[in-house]
């Protein structure tokens, strides 16, 4: 277990995982609406504050798993409780802990019925999400992975929009379908290695056929979660029907689990299969980028528009992962964070409009710029960020991903460019409609501009848009060692195993 840097003393990661769960248990006993809101806000904020300790204690020069804790759990089956973070997961954990308080704030007025159960679901979600990013035992990972499904299902099915039943069932079935094969792959790997400890499954001599099969099982589970084209159809439905907080969690955190899985499991556990199958996945990413762009351009529903834009943006993330070079992978990790920040903020903005007009239609929101200048200023920045305007966070991410892609293959990179053009087109179209509208706008004079609570919600997102956009180096420093360690191992592997990568070249 020399891969782990065991944390002595206070078990910080365990604390972060179980603090929201403990908070949720309290909500079982006290149901007051006001109490539930405030309590959840306090618990999620505390989690966020404590997660800052991760940064101060993180050694970015080491590629080991840090803050690690290892306890025996079911020794008979070699199942252990092992958690730890490295440069790949630390930012995602922080993204999760920091998104949650804003989800609570965004639901402050939005959720009017069954407040305590709603907050209960949010807290359970948080536990599961942090667990997924820190678990280093495959069974532990799988438990958290499945654990997420039910509260998310409930969030959509109970507090969702008119077609909530359809959307929630679709979400549940899609994700479950992927998970079943994931379990099969995990057990297959256990039978080969005799361990569920994830780092011990990496860089092992599996046969190519075995690798390809495991890879495909992983890929299906993660590609549905990302979602990659053509496995994306559950996403627009779920986004549209979910309450604001649900959409934000879905976009900011849940989608990242797919790409995190690809990076954490596919690359090191099945390197030969990854190299073998990278090219078709890259082209699938391109297809997603273009398809997401065109579909977003055609939407009249703001949430659908942003949902399809997510398909395009996540296409950039998978593109960056599978070019298998340092710029590409660092770009994709950064792009995961960026997408979490920007798309999360956009969903919050749509939620704020929805609370006022009770509609997500672009036509109904036409021309609100005149009456809600603060709102449209925020919206404009997030929309610009979403189509990678230079100086904003997504520009850096997209720049690195495309730079990595150009290193890999010029044609491939040029094929992704129309996606960037389309992103500008659909975002500017949305912005034009909302800020200006046309010559016959609906009467918006009854609308009130953002109140203090709403500005407090959006302002931190704005801060991160510009921070990552103008000084991304600290973020990249956090992940750099882990990414280069991963790529070093991959290169070493490639040198010593003459694999059939020539097949696609």
Partner 1 sequence: MEAAAATVHIVENSNLLLAVIIPLFGSLVVMTLKNHPNLREMVSSSASILLFCLVLSFIPALKAGETLVYPIFKLLPGLSITLRADGFSMIFAMVASSLWMIAVFYSMGYMRAHDEPCQTRFNACFALAIFGAIGVALSDNFLTLYLFYEIVSVCTYPLVAHHQDEESYEGARKYIIYLTTTAKFFLLPALILIYVLVGNLDFPHNINTGMIPATAAPGWMVTMLYIFCILGFAKNGVMPFHHWLPGAMVAPTPVSALLHAVAVVKVGVFCTTRTMLYVFGVETMDRLNLGIPTAYFVGFTILVASMIALSKDNLKARLAYSTVSQLSYIILGVALLTPHAIEGGLIHIVNHAFAKITLFFCAGAIYIAAHKKYISEMGGLGRTMPFTFGAFAVASLSMIGAPPVAGFVSKWYLLVGSMEAHQMGILLILIASTVLNVAYFAPVTYKAFFGKRPEGEVETGIKEAPLSMLIPLLMAVTVSVIIGIYPNFMMQFVRMVTG
Contacting positions for partner 1 (CB under 8 A): 384, 389-391, 396, 399-400, 402-403, 406-407, 410, 413-414, 417-418, 420-421, 424-425, 428, 432, 436, 438-439, 470-473, 476
Q: What is the distance between the alpha carbons of residues 427 and 297, in angstroms, rounded to a whole number?
A: 8
Question: Tokens representing 213?
Answer: 């099969």
Strand arrangement, sheet containing 65-74: 4-6, 65-74, 79-85
Nearest distance from C-beta of residue 52 to partner 1, angstroms: 24
Give how far Cα 348 sits from Cα of 102, 106, 110, 273, 354, Å. 9, 7, 11, 39, 10
Nearest distance from C-beta of residue 285 to partner 1, angstroms: 17
Q: What is the distance between the alpha carbons of residues 469 and 388, in angstroms, rounded to a whole number?
A: 9
Nearest distance from C-beta of residue 472 to partner 1, angstroms: 6
Nearest distance from C-beta of residue 99 to partner 1, angstroms: 24
SS3 of residue 74 by DSSP: strand
Give how far Cα 36 sits from Cα of 32, 43, 154, Å. 6, 10, 17
* CA–CA–CA angle 492, 402, 496 (5° rounding): 10
Nearest distance from C-beta of residue 324 to partner 1, angstroms: 15
Q: What are phi and psi of 168, to 5 degrees?
A: -70, -40
What contacts 494, CB < 8 A, 6 or more positions away?
271, 275, 501
Question: Tokens representing 484?
Answer: 């280069």
Q: Which is nearer to partner 1, 172 or 426 (CB)?
A: 426
Give how far Cα 26 sits from Cα of 40, 129, 310, 335, 377, Å. 10, 20, 35, 36, 39
Q: Which is nearer to partner 1, 416 or 486 (CB)?
A: 416
Q: What is the distance between the alpha carbons of residues 113 and 93, in angstroms, rounded to a whole number?
A: 30
Neighbours of 364 (CB within 10 A): 17
Q: Which is nearer to partner 1, 160 or 328 (CB)?
A: 328
Nearest distance from C-beta of residue 402 to partner 1, angstroms: 5
Buried b / exposed e over 181-209, threshold 16 CB at 10 Å, is: bbbebbeebbeebebbbbbbbbeeebeee
Q: Which is nearer to partner 1, 159 or 475 (CB)?
A: 475
Nearest distance from C-beta of residue 306 to partner 1, angstroms: 19
Q: Which is nearer to partner 1, 131 or 331 (CB)?
A: 331
Q: Which is nearer to partner 1, 230 or 390 (CB)?
A: 390
Q: Which is nearer to partner 1, 140 or 468 (CB)?
A: 468
Place of tokens 């019925």: 113
Q: What is the distance between the alpha carbons of residues 242 and 249, in angstroms, rounded to a whole number?
A: 10
Q: Which is nearer to partner 1, 417 or 456 (CB)?
A: 417
Closest to 504 measured CA to CA, from 270, 274, 321: 274
Nearest distance from C-beta of residue 373 to partner 1, angstroms: 9
Closest to 199 measured CA to CA, from 463, 413, 489: 489
Nearest distance from C-beta of residue 330 to partner 1, angstroms: 9
Q: Which is nearer to partner 1, 150 or 428 (CB)?
A: 428
Q: Which is nearer to partner 1, 52 or 363 (CB)?
A: 363
Nearest distance from C-beta of residue 420 to partner 1, angstroms: 5
Nearest distance from C-beta of residue 235 to partner 1, angstroms: 25
Q: What is the distance between the alpha carbons of residues 479 and 88, in angstroms, rounded to a whole number?
A: 6
Q: Which is nearer to partner 1, 420 or 487 (CB)?
A: 420
Strand 79-85 and strand 4-6: the pairing is: unpaired
Closest to 344 measured CA to CA, from 378, 299, 395: 378
Dihedral-angle region of residue 117 (phi above 0 means left; psi in -120 to 50 means alpha; beta otherwise): alpha
Nearest distance from C-beta of residue 403 to partner 1, angstroms: 5
Q: Which is nearer to partner 1, 107 or 393 (CB)?
A: 393
Closest to 273 measured CA to CA, from 500, 505, 502: 500
């Amino acid at each position: 277990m020399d891969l782990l840097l065991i944390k002595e003393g206070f078990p910080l990661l365990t604390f972060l995982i179980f603090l929201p769960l403990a908070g949720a248990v309290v909500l079982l006993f006290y149901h007051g609406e006001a109490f539930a809101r405030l309590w959840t806000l306090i618990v999620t904020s505390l989690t966020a504050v404590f997660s800052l300790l991760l940064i101060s204690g993180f050694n970015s020069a080491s590629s080991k798993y840090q803050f690690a804790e290892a306890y025996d759990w079911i020794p008979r089956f070699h199942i252990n409780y092992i958690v730890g973070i490295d440069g790949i997961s630390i930012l995602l954990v922080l993204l999760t802990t920091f998104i949650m308080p804003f989800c609570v704030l965004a639901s402050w007025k939005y959720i009017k019925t069954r407040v305590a159960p709603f907050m209960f679901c949010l807290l359970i979600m948080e536990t599961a999400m942090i667990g997924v990013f820190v678990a280093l035992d495959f069974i532990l990972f799988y438990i958290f992975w499945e654990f997420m499904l039910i509260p998310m299902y409930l969030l959509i099915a109970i507090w969702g929009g008119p077609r909530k039943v359809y959307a929630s069932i679709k979400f549940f079935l899609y994700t479950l379908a992927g998970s079943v094969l994931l379990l099969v792959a995990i057990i297959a790997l256990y039978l080969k290695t005799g361990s569920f400890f994830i780092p011990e499954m990496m860089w092992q001599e599996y046969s190519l056929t075995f690798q390809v099969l495991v890879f495909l099982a992983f890929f299906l589970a993660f590609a549905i979660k990302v979602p990659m084209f053509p496995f994306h159809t559950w996403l627009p439905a779920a986004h549209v029907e979910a309450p604001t907080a649900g959409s934000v969690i879905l976009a900011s955190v849940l989608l990242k689990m797919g790409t995190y899985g690809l990076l954490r499991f596919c690359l090191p556990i099945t390197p030969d299969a990854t190299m073998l199958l990278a090219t078709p996945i890259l082209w699938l990413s391109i297809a997603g980028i273009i398809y997401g762009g065109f579909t977003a351009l055609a939407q009249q529903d703001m949430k659908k528009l942003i949902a399809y834009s997510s398909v395009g943006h996540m296409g950039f993330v998978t593109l960056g992962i599978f070019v298998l070079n340092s710029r590409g992978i660092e770009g994709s990790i950064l792009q995961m964070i960026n997408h979490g920040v920007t798309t999360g903020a956009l969903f919050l903005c749509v939620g704020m409009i929805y609370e006022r007009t009770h509609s997500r239609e672009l036509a109904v929101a036409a021309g609100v710029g005149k009456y809600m200048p603060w709102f449209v200023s925020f919206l404009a920045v997030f929309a610009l960020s979403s189509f990678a305007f230079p100086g904003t966070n997504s520009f850096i991410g997209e720049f690195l991903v495309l730079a990595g892609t150009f290193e890999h293959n010029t044609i491939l990179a040029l094929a992704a460019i129309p996606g960037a053009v389309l992103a500008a087109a659909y975002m500017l179209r949305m912005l034009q409609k909302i800020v200006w509208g046309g010559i016959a706008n609906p009467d918006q004079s009854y609308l009130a501009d953002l109140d203090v609570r709403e500005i407090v919600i959006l302002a931190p997102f704005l801060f991160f848009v510009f921070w990552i956009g103008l000084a991304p180096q600290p973020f990249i420093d956090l992940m750099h060692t882990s990414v280069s360690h991963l790529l070093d191992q991959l290169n070493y592997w490639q040198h010593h195993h003459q694999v059939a990568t020539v097949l696609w070249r």
